[in-house]
């Protein structure tokens, strides 16, 4: 297994990225190779700094860097030799099994669509987030930011894609799918939510359990939470804020620790022909290490090919 990582992407790159990679090499099996993509002399210096002398890391040189504030489409076309551009070339050519970055989220999303492309039949690829549950499990929330405006048909497909992802990545036989809404009753919500409810309810491909309210977000009412990227992003970031708030208040609990963005480390783009994981721009070495563990699990699950088979 070969997992490519954008060494230059992120607020604390390349230091935090390389340190996280070195941490991950101590946990990952020996048959997993991490391919660091970026400016080779800088990466080599950092590997020496963090005392790495193993054989589980390779470097692929990429001269340019797409900065956080750059326009995604323009940057990718003007900087084909950027770390994100080169990373997607490796993924497209199947030289690596996954590509991960804490860099420009828009460039990662556009890069995925331009290089490995959306799975045939997918209306819009989405970003999936992992929501910790009081039971100790995690729910998959789709979408958490790629599609701010969604038609009912897109929400139906998010439920179907999320269900396949949860089944193969987490081993849940019949994932429970719920629609995030302002009430449990069937007729509640916006016109889009009401129409989506009917589509989800009548789908033979999923185990739809109805609407879910915000009060049940962490209460293990579903394995897959369906929402548009606008509300999903707000909910997801509000959930992540719990860790920092409780830390400031001097409170600690195992469940709250799981709301820390570092605990999972990244969010996959689902609905594309490959394994792409986006990490927080503020990613620490611990977050990068955990992102690589997620990437390994996702490659092993082969979820994207299962999604393609289900839609063919």
pLDDT given at position 311: 87
| Mean of all residue pLDDT scores within the chain | 96
pLDDT band at 312, cuts 50/70/90? confident
- The CATH code of the domain that includes 95 is 3.40.718.10
In terms of domains, do 113 and 5 share one?
yes
In terms of domains, do 281 and 184 share one?
no
154 is written with which tokens?
A: 């897109």
C-alpha–C-alpha distance, residues 167 and 57, integer Å: 31
List, for residues 18-74, the tens digit of each pLDDT value: 999 999 999 999 999 999 999 999 999 999 999 998 999 999 999 999 999 999 999
Domain that holds residue 71: 1-122+271-311
pLDDT given at position 15: 97
Nearby residues of 35 by Cβ (< 8 Å), 6 or more positions away:
2, 3, 4, 5, 57, 58, 59, 60, 90, 95, 96
List, for residues 272-292, the tens digit of each pLDDT value: 999 999 999 999 999 999 999
Domain count, the chain: 2
In terms of domains, do 167 and 219 share one?
yes
Q: In the predicted model, what is the mean pLDDT of residues 167-172? A: 93
In terms of domains, do 136 and 116 share one?
no
pLDDT given at position 73: 94
Closest CA to 103 of 121, 87, 127: 87
C-alpha–C-alpha distance, residues 34 and 227, integer Å: 33
pLDDT band at 184, cuts 50/70/90? very high
List, for residues 57-71, the tens digit of each pLDDT value: 999 999 999 999 999
pTM for the full predicted model: 0.94
Closest CA to 5 of 310, 280, 276: 276
């Amino acid at each position: 297994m070969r997992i490519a990582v954008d060494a230059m992407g992120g607020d604390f790159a390349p230091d935090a990225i390389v340190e996280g990679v070195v941490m991950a090499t101590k946990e990952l099996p020996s048959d997993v190779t991490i391919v660091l993509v970026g400016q080779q002399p800088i990466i080599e210096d950092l590997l020496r700094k963090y005392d790495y002398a193993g054989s589980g890391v390779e470097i692929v040189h990429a001269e340019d860097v797409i900065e956080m504030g750059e326009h995604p489409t323009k940057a990718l076309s003007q900087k084909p030799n950027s770390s994100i551009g080169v990373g997607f070339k490796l993924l497209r050519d199947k030289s690596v099994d996954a590509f991960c970055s804490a860099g420009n989220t828009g460039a990662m999303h556009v890069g995925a669509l331009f290089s490995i492309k959306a799975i045939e039949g997918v209306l819009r690829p989405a970003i999936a987030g992992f929501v910790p549950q009081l039971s100790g499990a995690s729910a998959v929330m789709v979408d958490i930011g790629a599609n701010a405006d969604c038609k009912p048909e897109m929400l139906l497909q998010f439920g179907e894609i999320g269900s396949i992802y949860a089944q193969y990545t987490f081993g849940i036989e019949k994932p429970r799918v719920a629609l995030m809404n302002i009430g449990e009753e069937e007729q509640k919500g916006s016109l889009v939510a009401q129409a989506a409810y009917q589509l989800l309810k009548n789908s033979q491909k999923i185990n739809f359990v109805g609407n879910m309210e915000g009060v049940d977000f962490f209460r293990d009412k579903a394995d897959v939470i369906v929402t548009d990227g606008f509300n999903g992003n707000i909910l997801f970031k509000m959930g992540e804020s719990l860790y920092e708030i409780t830390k400031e208040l001097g409170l600690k609990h195992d469940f709250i620790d799981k709301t820390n963005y570092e605990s999972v480390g990244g969010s996959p783009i689902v609905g594309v022909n490959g394994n792409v994981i986006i990490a927080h721009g503020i990613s620490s070495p611990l977050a990068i290490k955990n992102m690589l563990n997620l990437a390994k699990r996702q490659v092993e699950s082969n979820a994207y090919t299962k999604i393609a088979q289900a839609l063919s």
